Amino acid sequence: MSKSINDYTTLFRPLLAAGIIVVAFGVICIWIWTSVVSPGEGEGFKIIGIRFLIGGLFSISLAFIAKYFLLIKYLLKRISYKGKLREDKFSDLHRP
């Protein structure tokens, strides 16, 4: 079955919103580590903050991949065809 464009773009807003919230929480954790808690006791906040930043950025990147999936699929298909044509020009010829 073929999916419509709306099926791909419906994931964009939830993933983007979740990514922004997670990134904001990661920034707050890193801010707590740097300013509120003493450096020796706040290593956990640093680790958690960095993990949340990475997870949020990953979620945001998945959102944009889901939104532009058809364009990415089309471009990858075009690149793969160009690679095949450059690799062997005479593969389509039939020998008698």
Confidence of residue 1 (pLDDT cuts 50, 70, 90): very low
Q: Domain range for residue 40?
A: 7-87
Residue 21 and residue 51 in contact, taking contact as beta carbons nearer than 8 Å: no
For residues 17, 18, 20, 24, the Cα torsion angle rounded to the nearest 10 degrees is: 140
Specify if 94 maps to a domain. Answer: no
How far is the CA of 65 from the CAs of 12, 16, 29, 33, 96, in angstroms? Answer: 8, 11, 27, 32, 47
Write down the pTM of the prediction. 0.68
pLDDT in tens, 20-42: 999 999 999 999 888 877 767 78
Show the tokens assigned to 22: 């997670």
Total structural domains within the chain: 1
pLDDT of 61 > 80? The answer is yes
pLDDT score for 36: 79
Specify if 2 maps to a domain. Answer: no
